[in-house]
Amino acid sequence: MRYTQLDTPTLLIDREILVENLKYMQSYADINSVALRPHTKTHKMPFVANMQIETGASGITVAKVGEAEVMAANGIKDIFIANEIVGCSKLERIRKLAETVEISFGVDTPCQVEAVEEVFASAVNPAEILIEIEVGENRSGIIEEADFIVLLDTIKACPHVHFKGIFSHDGNSYSADNLEECRQISLAAQRRTLHFAQLARENGLSPAIVSIGSTPSQMNHFEILEGVTEIRPGTYALMDASQGNAFGTLNRCAATVLASVISRPTSERVILDVGAKGITMQERNEGICAVPGKGIIKEYPDVHIANVYDEHAIIYNKDFRDQIRVGDKVRIIPVHICPVCNLYDYAVLISGDEAVEEIPILCRGKLQ
């Protein structure tokens, strides 16, 4: 059927744009002789993850153990959890996964490593860990060199823990004022990551993997410095309004939310049948990722959602109101696609005007 015949709200993915996005990033990785390990927290779909592997990705990245379990059950054999893992129950689940797939995960504190050692003490193979380096996002990761060396010494003292490498995420690039500032943030993050890689070598642990990530820098094909072995962009597969602004066009946005006009209560107000529970309340107000409102109407790119309630999106635009009628359907380009995918049981793959296939979002809700 035509996608306009689908009930609303529905998450749509344009097949041709998706395929082009996957090829675009894989080409960037190949040209720079680095591995591509896409972050699948964006789409949460084994279907898309397998497309990424088929296009050339070396493996995938996830955020949670639950996502790793689902991806492994659906044929993915090389998985990195780009997050610190705390708690014996999660470590025991990783230990079980390690029996059938290659799996690694993040640490940034000695006590985490000591807990890993205890859980993996009787495992056939050692735990594979990467140390996170904080590079300006003000989130998790090692900040001080002294703490890094203490962490390395802890790893050396744990025979069932194998140091695989280091990783970082320059999420602060999202708020860069312009592309040149974004480029400088990317380069600074790479230099800092590579510095810690060298510190590890000087302290007797050589990283096989030096992994960096962030869609704005990698969609714009910034320079990748020698010594980096892997990139981990996520949003590039589907894109969204904020990343589209950072890239300079919304034409790369593969994901949209199909919604119906359900009311035109005033001469300028229009109400759609999807709200915070279908597109989130997220906004981006700073830098190259800034976008007006809470979503852009694809067919009317100058029209944005001004506000949302749980199940309603509010638009104030007289010209738009005069052009549409109750019952019409429009596509919303979300501000931030990652949490949007987590709100739906499935997405519909479309090609042109045709609805092609339902894709289950099997990792939705896997928060543990």
Helix and strand element counts for the chain (H, E): 12, 18
Q: Smallest Cα–Cα separation from 238: which of 4, 9, 8, 25?
A: 25
Residue 140, CB half-sphere, CA atoms under 13 Å: how many? 11
- Rounded to whole angstroms, how far apart are CA atoms 218 and 233? 7
CA 345 to chain centre: 18
The sheet carrying 230-231 orders its strands as 35-36, 230-231, 209-212, 161-167, 127-132, 102-107, 78-84, 60-62
What separation in angstroms does the CA of 168 have from each of 20, 77, 191? 26, 22, 11
- In tens digits, the chain (368 residues) has pLDDT values of 999 999 999 999 999 999 999 999 999 999 999 999 999 999 999 999 999 999 999 999 999 999 999 999 999 999 999 999 999 999 999 999 999 999 999 999 999 999 999 999 999 999 999 999 999 999 999 999 999 999 999 999 999 999 999 999 999 999 999 999 999 999 999 999 999 999 999 999 999 999 999 999 999 999 999 999 999 999 999 999 999 999 999 999 999 999 999 999 999 999 999 999 999 999 999 999 999 999 999 999 999 999 999 999 999 999 999 999 999 999 999 999 999 999 999 999 999 999 999 999 999 999 99
Enumerate domains of the chain plus CATH numbers: 3-10+242-360 (2.40.37.20), 15-237 (3.20.20.10)
Q: 3-state DSSP: the chain helix, strand, coil percent, rounded to 5?
A: 35, 25, 40
